[in-house]
């Protein structure tokens, strides 16, 4: 796969302005990234700016803490898709995962998958807060709920993606889902390490910088 198509070009900052989203979309179109990932209030803008390009619009649900009630996550999903979102990155209920209430975690993911109605769903398990055993169970819940991807991190936790976590997630989901690495991926070396570990998508805000590193080789 072309390197650029691994990248979800991301700006989820609270301070993101119209000009920031315009710049994000222009960069994504220039490099033909897989998607831009923006906050829900910017979905319609990004969708409009990317009209006629090969770049998808991705947004987040229950972000960044995951503690939103499941029915609200489902509504967020429905609203985002109506606004033009092509992909949904949802955060699991991390507290319920820490309490090992895996039925709740599964039902929470399932609510979003069902609301997405065929639109691609990535499930953020926020690895920095989970033990390896909890990461495995969270991935199993996502697979059981028929999510398309499991994702390492929001980028707002205590740490981001690690090679070890990506490898663990890949082993756990097998052929049933794909893995997205996100959080702290700021250069070509880290980008390549995540792909080598098995990530099929990379979420980062430094996509343009990484592509420039390739161009300057």
pLDDT in tens, 184-203: 999 999 999 999 999 999 99
Q: What pTM value is reported for the model?
A: 0.97
Q: For residue 74, tell me if it sits in a domain.
A: yes
Domain of residue 169 covers 59-215
- Residue 163, pLDDT score: 98
What are 138-177's pLDDT values in tens digits? 999 999 999 999 999 999 999 999 999 999 999 999 999 9
Report the number of distinct structural domains present in the chain: 1
Asked whether residue 100 carries a pLDDT value surpassing 70, the answer given is yes
Residue tagged 């489902």 (tokens): 74
CATH number at residue 132: 3.20.20.70
Q: For residue 101, tell me if it sits in a domain.
A: yes
- Residue 77, pLDDT score: 98
CA distance 134 to 96: 11
Q: For residue 181, tell me if it sits in a domain.
A: yes
- What value does the mean pLDDT take over residues 85-109? 98
Q: For residue 26, tell me if it sits in a domain.
A: no
Asked whether residue 19 carries a pLDDT value surpassing 90, the answer given is yes
CA dihedral 104, 107, 111, 114 (to 10 degrees): 170
Q: For residue 141, tell me if it sits in a domain.
A: yes
What are 31-80's pLDDT values in tens digits? 999 999 999 999 999 999 999 999 999 999 999 999 999 999 999 999 99
CA distance 2 to 17: 30
Other Cβ atoms less than 10 A from the Cβ of 36: the count is 30
- Residue 1, pLDDT score: 67
Catalytic residue annotation: 89, 151, 180
Q: For residue 133, tell me if it sits in a domain.
A: yes
The strand pairing partners of 57, in sequence order, are: 36
Q: For residue 95, tell me if it sits in a domain.
A: yes
Q: For residue 159, tell me if it sits in a domain.
A: yes
């Amino acid at each position: 796969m072309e390197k650029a198509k691994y990248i979800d070009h991301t700006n989820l900052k609270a301070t993101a302005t119209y000009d920031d989203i315009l710049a994000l979309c222009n960069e994504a179109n220039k490099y033909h990234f897989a998607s831009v990932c923006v906050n829900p209030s910017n979905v319609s803008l990004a969708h409009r700016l990317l009209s006629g390009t090969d770049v998808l619009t991705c947004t987040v649900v229950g972000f960044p803490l995951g503690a939103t009630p499941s029915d609200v996550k489902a509504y967020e999903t429905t609203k985002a898709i109506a606004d033009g979102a092509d992909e949904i990155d949802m955060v699991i209920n991390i507290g319920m995962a820490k309490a090992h209430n895996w039925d709740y975690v599964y039902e929470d993911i399932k609510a979003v998958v069902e609301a997405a109605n065929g639109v691609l769903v990535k499930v953020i398990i926020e690895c920095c807060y989970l033990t390896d055993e909890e990461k495995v169970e969270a991935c199993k819940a996502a697979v059981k709920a028929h999510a398309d991807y499991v994702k390492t991190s929001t980028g707002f936790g205590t740490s981001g993606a690690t090679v070890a976590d990506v490898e663990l997630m890949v082993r756990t989901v097998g052929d049933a889902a794909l893995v997205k690495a996100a959080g702290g991926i700021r250069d070509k070396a880290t980008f390549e390490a995540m792909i080598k570990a098995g990530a099929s998508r990379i979420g980062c805000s430094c996509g343009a910088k990484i592509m420039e590193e390739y161009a300057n080789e």
